[in-house]
RNA sequence: UGGGGUGUAGCCAAGCGGUUAAGGCCCGGGGCUUUGACUCCCGUAUGCGCAGGUUCGAAUCCUGCCGCCCCAG
């Protein structure tokens, strides 16, 4: 079977390619260059990553390509990312990136190459039940990445392969090491996918105008000034610049109408906790909601990557979802995604509106 | 003007004659992390408003000056 592997230059996708090759498939490595800019330290990590991809593919003995989806990334991911920040929300570009770039633009490219499957180094698993593809938690609970994949559709998931999904990170590195892959000890990448680790405030500042304003406590007293609401997100404590007595301050709210950042010194401020949340733009892996309209469904949910799964009940209302948590959740953040699970299966999720 | 109080790092704040001046916040660096956050670890005053003096030794005592705060008038 001809399979394209999306290769980042990291150890996970390197091993993904290696395993598929060992299975006897006709494997083609494809490296994506979606962001042409040096990082904060002046290094263009994409060049080094591309060099690693070439080297690894040579070691494995597979052909490789580099593709440039900068235009697609800008139009379909980054523009939305900026728009969300402009609206005062805190977006997650990587969930969109998977749907719009890796499993769309790259998927199209793979199909042009005649590939039947598109593999990546994601820590996630899939299986098929009654003609439908399912997305399942990875074997390594610490590295599970289904949170970033919840927007995938049936066609996208049916073409996807995740060769390292049933391995632990340690096992992946061990395989890479034994095969002598140069990426075996490479540090895991972080930051926005393709963009990398950034001084976020400075990064945003180059794209969006900032409007400074007051910082007030929950009683309305002015306790400082902010540089622009978009630089802050609920639950955040660093970067507020408020010294003095009483300890740390946490962002508990953003008053967009008044351009006021609301803060509290209680880490467990009641303003930070929500027993309920509402989502929009819900998507379901199965292609349809897992429950009939008007009926509550018991699920597990996570509001951010790597968060332990939380008990909740959901009510689907068209593209919206009402979520009631078993336990109040801290810093439910508009723009972020809430993703649902039943047992090990990822059901889908949506974007938090409140 | 008189009386009282007070001046320790960017912000709070211990210290009240004797090891290298607590701690918290902010900030910086690192760890964790394919979003943003949270969290964890490490670091940050040769100097205590200024100038003298007492003392073996002063942020700590004394004198003067300067700056704030409060009460009188």
What average pLDDT score do residues A231-252 get? Answer: 92
Q: How many CB atoms lie within 10 A of CB A5?
A: 32
Q: Which residues pair with A247 in a beta bridge?
A: none
Q: Are A263 and A215 in contact (CB under 8 A)?
A: yes
Pick the closest to residue A203 from A40, A81, A46 (CA basis): A40
Query: How many residues are listed for chain A in this entry?
Result: 354
Q: Are A239 and A215 in contact (CB under 8 A)?
A: no
CA A250 to C1' B65 (Å) is 44
What average pLDDT score do residues A48-76 get? Answer: 93
Q: Any catalytic annotation for residue A193?
A: yes
Distance from CA of residue A136 to its chain's centroid? 16
Distance from CA of residue A198 to its chain's centroid? 16
- Summary count for chain A: helices (H), strands (E): 9, 17
What average pLDDT score do residues A107-122 get? Answer: 95
Nucleic chain B contacts, protein chain A, residues 273-312, CB cut-off 7 A:
304-306
Band (pLDDT 50/70/90 cuts) for residue A40 is low
Band (pLDDT 50/70/90 cuts) for residue A41 is low
Is the pLDDT score of A37 beyond 80?
no
| A224 CB neighbours strand B below 7 A | no
Q: Which residues pair with A81 in a beta bridge?
A: none
| A329 CB neighbours strand B below 7 A | no
Tokens of A37: 């800019």
Q: What is the DSSP letter of A80?
A: H
For A100, half-sphere exposure in the C-beta direction (CA atoms, 13 angstrom radius) is 20
Rg (CA), chain A: 21
Band (pLDDT 50/70/90 cuts) for residue A39 is low
What average pLDDT score do residues A83-109 get? Answer: 95
| A267 CB neighbours strand B below 7 A | yes
What average pLDDT score do residues A156-162 get? Answer: 96
What average pLDDT score do residues A104-109 get? Answer: 95
Output the pLDDT for position A150.
97
Single out the catalytic residue among A44, A57, A97, A298. A97
| A189 CB neighbours strand B below 7 A | yes
The chain-wide mean pLDDT, for chain A, equals 93
Please give the model's pTM, rounded to 2 decimal places.
0.90
Output the pLDDT for position A243.
86
What average pLDDT score do residues A173-200 get? Answer: 87
Exposure b/e, A177-195, CB count within 10 A at least 16 = b: eebebebbebeebeebbbb
What is the percentage of chain A residues whose pLDDT exceeds 70? 98
What average pLDDT score do residues A58-76 get? Answer: 94
| A188 CB neighbours strand B below 7 A | yes
Q: Are A342 and A299 in contact (CB under 8 A)?
A: yes
Is the pLDDT score of A291 beyond 70?
yes
Q: Are A279 and A146 in contact (CB under 8 A)?
A: no
Band (pLDDT 50/70/90 cuts) for residue A121 is very high
Is the pLDDT score of A42 beyond 70?
no
Structure confidence by residue, pLDDT tens digits, A202-226: 888 889 988 999 999 999 888 999 9
Pick the closest to residue A215 from A231, A227, A233 (CA basis): A227
Pick the closest to residue A272 from A232, A328, A327 (CA basis): A328
Pick the closest to residue A31 from A13, A6, A14 (CA basis): A6
Q: How high is the ipTM of this complex?
A: 0.89
**Lowest-confidence segment of A143-157, A190-204, A331-345 by average pLDDT:** A190-204
Output the pLDDT for position A43.
65
Q: Are strands A310-317 and A296-302 parallel, antiparallel or unpaired?
A: antiparallel
Band (pLDDT 50/70/90 cuts) for residue A187 is confident
Is the pLDDT score of A267 beyond 90?
no
Nucleic chain B contacts, protein chain A, residues 54-83, CB cut-off 7 A:
none
Mark the nucleotides of strand B covered by protein, meaning any atom under 7 Å from a CB: 10-13, 24-28, 32-39
Which nucleotide C1' is nearest A192 CA?
B35
Q: Are A62 and A95 in contact (CB under 8 A)?
A: no
Q: Any catalytic annotation for residue A346?
A: no
């Amino acid at each position: 079977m001809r399979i394209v592997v999306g290769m980042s230059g990291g150890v996970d996708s390197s091993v993904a390619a290696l395993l598929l090759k060992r299975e006897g498939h006709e494997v083609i490595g494809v490296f994506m260059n979606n962001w042409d800019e040096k990082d904060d330290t002046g290094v263009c990590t994409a060049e080094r990553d591309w060099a690693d991809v070439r080297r690894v593919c040579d070691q494995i003995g597979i052909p490789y390509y580099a593709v440039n989806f900068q235009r697609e990334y800008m139009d379909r991911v980054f523009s939305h990312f900026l728009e969300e920040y402009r609206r005062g929300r805190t977006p997650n570009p990587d969930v969109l990136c998977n749907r719009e770039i890796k499993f769309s633009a790259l998927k199209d490219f793979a199909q042009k190459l005649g590939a039947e499957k598109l593999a990546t180094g994601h820590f996630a698993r899939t299986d098929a039940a009654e003609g439908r593809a399912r997305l399942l938690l990875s074997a390594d609970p610490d590295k599970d990445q289904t949170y970033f994949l919840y927007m995938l559709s049936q066609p996208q998931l049916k073409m996807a392969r995740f060769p390292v999904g049933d391995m632990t990170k340690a096992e992946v590195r061990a395989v890479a090491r034994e095969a002598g892959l140069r990426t075996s000890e490479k540090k895991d990448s972080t930051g926005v996918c393709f963009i990398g680790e950034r001084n976020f405030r400075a990064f945003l500042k180059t794209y969006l105008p900032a409007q400074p304003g007051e910082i007030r406590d929950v009683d309305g007293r002015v306790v400082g000034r902010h540089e622009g609401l978009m630089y802050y997100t609920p639950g955040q404590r660093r970067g507020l610049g408020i010294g003095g007595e009483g300890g740390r301050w946490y962002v508990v709210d953003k008053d967009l109408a008044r351009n006021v950042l609301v803060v509290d010194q209680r880490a467990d401020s009641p303003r930070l906790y929500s027993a309920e949340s509402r989502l929009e733009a819900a998507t379901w892996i199965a292609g349809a909601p897992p429950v009939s309209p008007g009926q509550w469904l018991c699920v597990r949910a996570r509001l951010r990557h790597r968060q332990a799964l939380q008990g909740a009940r959901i009510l689907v209302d068209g593209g919206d979802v009402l979520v009631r948590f078993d336990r109040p959740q801290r810093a439910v953040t508009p723009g972020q995604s809430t993703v649902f699970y039943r047992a090990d299966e990822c059901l889908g999720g949506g974007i938090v509106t409140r």
